[in-house]
Amino acid sequence: MNTPVFLAHRSIVSVTGADAETFLNNIVTVSTLDVEPGTLRYGALLTPQGKIIADLLVAREGEALLLDCAASAAPALVKRLTLMKLRAAVAIEELAELGVTAFEGSEDPRNVTAPRRRIGARGVEGDTSAYHAARIAAGIAEQGFDFGADDVFPADINMDLDGGVDFRKGCFVGQEVVSRMKRRGTARRRTLKVSVSGDVAAPARILANGFEIGMLTSISGGAGLARVRIDRLAEAQAKGETLTAGDTAVTFDNPPWLAGELAAMAEAKEAKT
């Protein structure tokens, strides 16, 4: 059993006011109208071009909606939300007194095997290696480690597979781009779990026969996460090519859904010809 550890790389942004629920619901990728106390909901605020400004775990605390986000993304998130509020009756601020503790609290909605997390008083940063090992084992990409702001589409980090995009809720910022990628099967990059046979530091380019197909973005022991062009990965695997990061061999753990993704890409490509 893992000891609870404070995550200094996470921050809490608070959205309060009479319009808090509807304001957030209109702009983020999931519904914020029915978040139950004691639960978390995964989503993101996107750019109009569909890239992630900040991915979020949304919690309810009384009348407030609390957004668990990367500390590196919090200032930009507050600024963007403030610009978007217009006449909405909301107050938006980063709460310096609150933070996130892992291995206790609410279940992570992305994967039941991921570390639980609790929003509470800020603590002293401890050794977070067990946290990162557990989230990597669960296939969870984390902003500030696996990707940056305005860097990736939701599909690149499997948000649509992890419940982080609700395509039925109505409008959200960036919806047109994200929905088109989903409808046309044009999401080329995904985050996959990998096994690494030797010492390598992330980030590192993943090569197949000398050509880059993706990036190793996180590593813990012999396990890691990689954001990869799945069509190029499939081609390399079919040819039996050796995949490397640095001078180290990399083996991908192909998830069950990958074959369907590749089939959808092939159909989309054929439809264009």
The alpha-helical segments, DSSP class H, found in the chain are: 20-25, 74-84, 129-137, 175-184, 230-239, 258-272
Report the pLDDT value the prediction gives residue 262, as an integer from 0 to 100: 84
Q: What is the pTM of this model?
A: 0.94
- The reply to whether domains 5-157 and 187-272 share a CATH topology is no
The mean pLDDT value for 137-161 works out to 97
Residues in a beta bridge with 219: 224
Report the pLDDT value the prediction gives residue 268, as an integer from 0 to 100: 67
* Residue 226 contacts residue 213 (beta carbons within 8 Å): no
Between 32 and 181, whose confidence is greater?
32
* Residue 224 contacts residue 194 (beta carbons within 8 Å): yes
Q: What is the pLDDT of residues 52-111, one digit of tens each?
A: 999 999 999 999 999 999 999 999 999 999 999 999 999 999 999 999 999 999 999 999
Report the pLDDT value the prediction gives residue 259, as an integer from 0 to 100: 87
- Could you give the maximum distance between any two Cα atoms of the chain, in Å? 58
What is the pLDDT confidence band of residue 198, given thresholds at 50, 70 and 90? confident
Can you state the angle between helices 230-239 and 258-272, rounded to 10 degrees? Answer: 100
The mean pLDDT value for 32-57 works out to 97
* Residue 15 contacts residue 81 (beta carbons within 8 Å): yes
* Residue 153 contacts residue 178 (beta carbons within 8 Å): yes
Instruction: Indicate if the pLDDT at residue 114 is higher than 90.
Output: yes
Query: Domain segments of the chain: what residues?
Result: 5-157, 187-272
Class of domain 5-157: alpha beta
Domain at 187-272, CATH homologous superfamily: Aminomethyltransferase beta-barrel domains (2.40.30.110)
Please enumerate in sequence order all residues whose Cβ is within 8 A of that of 79, keeping only pairs 6 or more positions apart, or say none: none
